[in-house]
Amino acid sequence: MNFNEETLALAAVWYVAFLLSLTCHEAAHALAAKIGGDPTAYEAGQVTLNPLPHIRRSPFGTVLVPLLTFYLSHFMMGWASAPYDPRWQDRHPRRAALMAIAGPAANFLLVALSIVAIRVGIAVRFFAAPQQISFSHMVAPGAPGAAEGLATFLSILFSLNLLLGAFNLLPVPPLDGASAVGLVMSEKVALRFASLVRGPTFSFVGLILAWRLFEYIVSPLFRVGLAVLYWGY
């Protein structure tokens, strides 16, 4: 990839959107755990929208991998994590399930906020519907200047969080969906399921399975997202 001035500017916008998305996701996990009785992440300083505690905990997944994947594919991927007490999960599997679902819920909240901002921008002609759609171009600027950067940021925020929220809800370990399914199980079954999938072997197999499944989900997911974004236009 040729890193000219335009590409570097796009990388900066991508990284801001990526870091905001990841920080909100992990802070939501940490806050839900604290409310549910596990202060582990709170005491580690992760009930915060300040990205630095999350970066310090997972520098590889929050800095190196996102920049590397952008260099290779023009898309950012990465990870972070919020600590929790497994003994608390064993005692309260339903609360742990709520903690798990809080992260994707934060991503979908960012999707909703992006939709509102984009639709308001179109209504006041600050933005316009684009001729072509891409992850970084879900809406077009209405005029040169500040609208260009904001349109790109909101496009990425919408696309990235739609993907992050849906991907993390897949019910396979180590994704959040594997714990969230405890909400539809009895506590006894949820506890057994959590103990079963906690090992590294299940996590490795689960990630491979999740990537294969997500190939079939991405296109219909974006069709639904676009239908909601441009409902009535």
The answer to whether 170 touches 74, Cβ cutoff 8 Å, is no
Counted residue by residue, the chain has a size of 233
CB neighbours of 135 closer than 8 A, spacing ≥ 6? 75, 155, 156, 159, 160
Global pTM reads: 0.92
Integer Cα distance of 129 and 137 in angstroms: 10
pLDDT tens sequence for the chain (233 residues): 566 788 899 999 999 999 999 999 999 999 999 999 999 999 999 999 999 999 999 999 999 999 999 989 888 999 999 999 989 988 888 899 999 999 999 999 999 999 999 999 999 999 999 988 998 999 999 988 889 999 999 999 999 999 999 999 998 888 999 888 878 777 777 777 777 666 676 677 878 888 888 888 999 999 999 999 999 87
Q: Would you call the peptide bond into 174 cis, given omega within 30 degrees of 0 as the criterion?
A: yes
